[in-house]
A and B are shown apart, each in its own frame.
Chain A
Amino acid sequence: MMVDILAQVERLTRRYGEIRAVDEVSFTLLRGQVLGLLGPNGAGKSTTMRMLAGVLAPDAGRIIIHGADLLDQPVQAKRALGYLPEQPPLYREMTVDEQLHYSACLHGLSRTASRQAVACIKERCGLTDVSRRLIGHLSKGYQQRVGIAQAVLHDPAVVVLDEPTVGLDPLQSREIRGLIRELGQDRSVILSSHRLSEVQALCTHVQIMRSGRLVYASPLADLEQQQPSTRLRIGLKTPPPLVRLTQLPGVEGVEELGEGCFRLHHAAAAAPHQALVEQASAENWGLWELTPEQVSLEQIFVELILEPEAVE
């Protein structure tokens, strides 16, 4: 299979005065990848995305979009780019149709091509009912949808979405997630989000940024394989003394979570499930919960962001 690099970022740096908003960030995005960019507020996610979209010039580094250098051949590179900023760039005095047609023409689509593209994207983003309404009169959720429609309308190879599902209700975000997943199949998508579950459900790759640096990058599939469950959450009606739990075979540590709940840490090879269930029924501990805990993105996120010393 031919590996198709759609976006390449090399040592991207951007300073605001003394602050390094983005510090030597490098990554590569292949066709078919959906990259989730995570990080606390002010970590440099939006700045990275603005530079990727050509809206902001980097202080140093190189960005190559679909084979064209964004700084040397901006027009060519931007042709392969769809961008939704934090605040969707919409003209309040225009109708949804006018806005989408304008954007299509700006991206070099002909009149007929733009008409088709607009009709198609309105259908997919659920905008057909509001196509004649003024954008200024639409709710935040609809405006967000128009913004997304505008970003992917001209069928770009690289789609950059800054918090695409913000302001959408759960049903709408599910539809948009479906759209993004579909886009990701034959394109590259890079998105930022504050919802970790969303990134976990949607992305093939994840990167975490902290104060301008990339501190974690991994395919999501690896996340689940590399780190098999080593934690067990249990709930007991009449818990025995803590020592009894520690003595179970394979258990390396016990955390008391309160209200009869405990978290058992165990070796990956020796899961204590069987022994635990047997002992619990023999000694009448009243076992009511037994859940293996996956290492979730949230744990990694919290560990990386809250305990920076541990990483460095």
Chain B
Amino acid sequence: MITVIAARELRSLFLSPLAWTLLAVVQGLLAWMFLLLVDDFRELQGRLASLDNAPGVTDLVAAPLFRVAAWVLLLLVPLLTMRLFSEERRTRTLDLLLSAPVAMSEIVLGKYLGVLAFLLMTVALITLMPLSLALGATLDAGKLLAGILGLSLLAAAAAAAGVYLSTLTTQPAVAAIATMGLLLALWMVDAASTIPGTAGDLFGYLSLRRHYDAFLLGLFDSADLAYYLLFGMAFLGLAIRRLDDLRLRD
């Protein structure tokens, strides 16, 4: 049942120009970024050769590219998740799902996985850029994989937040803005981690960015993995509760 809902969600994304436009814009922006990074690397190459233990092409091209990609994804995810429930509530198509023999958790997970599939496709397309460097250079596979995993986890966590926020309103635009606000706040809360004491540590731990940066350095810490999984599950759980609650309210 989950796959039925996920497949419809993914299909309907590609039936609208929104998904195609987002893909095109993301690819365009990141391709430009990629080109600049490769250019910089070419200029630096001579000097790097004389250094011991110099950063490689993965550190100088792939990691910065993924850092920008994270930003772009944070702006893109809200636009993908905004319609999920708000539009169905507005056009009353949610009634079909609610009267079908499907559990609330299946509805939420189905929709979530539909969007997640789209996001993973985007991540795959982004990854193709640094991968193309393998034609002429040696890539650090470990670092690249850590980067891909980090970006995927970030996208998955952000999408879960978007799913929940879209159950709160019947207006997609409101859901999008709220999701964007939440994600950017959690990204920037890192700045508050300089506060001494536990408050600073807490802000640092909450930050989406702190955990992502670890992946980009090639560090795979299960604490970071746990952070993203917990983040995602918490919001999906809230979405299921909210959907159940809606039947009591409207």
Q: Is A216 an interface residue (CB 8 A)?
A: no
Chain A residues near B93 (CB, 8 Å)? 89-91
Q: Is B1 an interface residue (CB 8 A)?
A: yes
- B223: min CB distance to chain A, Å: 37
Chain B residues near A94 (CB, 8 Å)? 12, 15
Q: Is B94 an interface residue (CB 8 A)?
A: yes
Residue of B whose beta carbon sits closest to that of A92: B91
The digit string for A83-118, where 1 denotes a CB below 8 A from any CB of B, is: 101010111111000100011011110000000000
Q: Is A56 an interface residue (CB 8 A)?
A: yes
- B168: min CB distance to chain A, Å: 18
Q: Are B95 and A106 in contact (CB under 8 A)?
A: no
Which residues from chain A sit less than 8 Å from chain B, CB to CB? 50, 53-57, 74-76, 78-79, 81, 83, 85, 87, 89-94, 98, 102-103, 105-108, 150
Residue of B whose beta carbon sits closest to that of A90: B93
For A53, A78, A85, A106, the residue with the greatest tally of chain B CB atoms inside 10 Å of its CB is A106
The answer to whether residues A78 and B99 also contact, given A56-B250, A93-B12, A93-B15 and a CB cut-off of 8 A, is yes
Chain B residues near A50 (CB, 8 Å)? 95
Q: Are A75 and B102 in contact (CB under 8 A)?
A: yes
Q: Are B92 and A85 in contact (CB under 8 A)?
A: yes
Chain B residues near A105 (CB, 8 Å)? 4
For A76, A89, A94, A150, the residue with the greatest tally of chain B CB atoms inside 10 Å of its CB is A89
Q: Is B21 an interface residue (CB 8 A)?
A: no
Q: Are A55 and B12 in contact (CB under 8 A)?
A: no
Residue of A whose beta carbon sits closest to that of B100: A106
A93 to B95, CA, bound (A): 17
A53 to B96, CA, bound (A): 10
A225 to B40, CA, bound (A): 94
Chain A residues near B12 (CB, 8 Å)? 91, 93-94
A-B contact count (CB 8 A): 68
A89 to B87, CA, bound (A): 12
Q: Are A87 and B99 in contact (CB under 8 A)?
A: no
Q: Are B92 and A78 in contact (CB under 8 A)?
A: no
Q: Is B247 an interface residue (CB 8 A)?
A: yes
Q: Is B230 an interface residue (CB 8 A)?
A: no
- A15: min CB distance to chain B, Å: 11
- A207: min CB distance to chain B, Å: 21
Q: Are A78 and B101 in contact (CB under 8 A)?
A: yes
Residue of A whose beta carbon sits closest to that of B248: A57
Chain B residues near A55 (CB, 8 Å)? 95, 98-99, 247
Q: Are B16 and A93 in contact (CB under 8 A)?
A: yes
Give residues 59-115 of B contacting A (CB, 8 Å): 91-103
A50 to B247, CA, bound (A): 10
A-B contact pairs, 23 of them (CB 8 A): A53-B95, A54-B247, A55-B247, A56-B247, A74-B101, A75-B101, A75-B102, A76-B101, A81-B101, A85-B92, A87-B92, A89-B92, A89-B93, A89-B94, A89-B95, A89-B96, A90-B93, A91-B12, A93-B12, A93-B15, A107-B100, A108-B101, A150-B96
Other than the known A83-B95, A93-B15, what 4 A-B pairs have Cβ atoms closer than 8 Å?
Answer: A53-B95, A54-B98, A75-B101, A75-B102
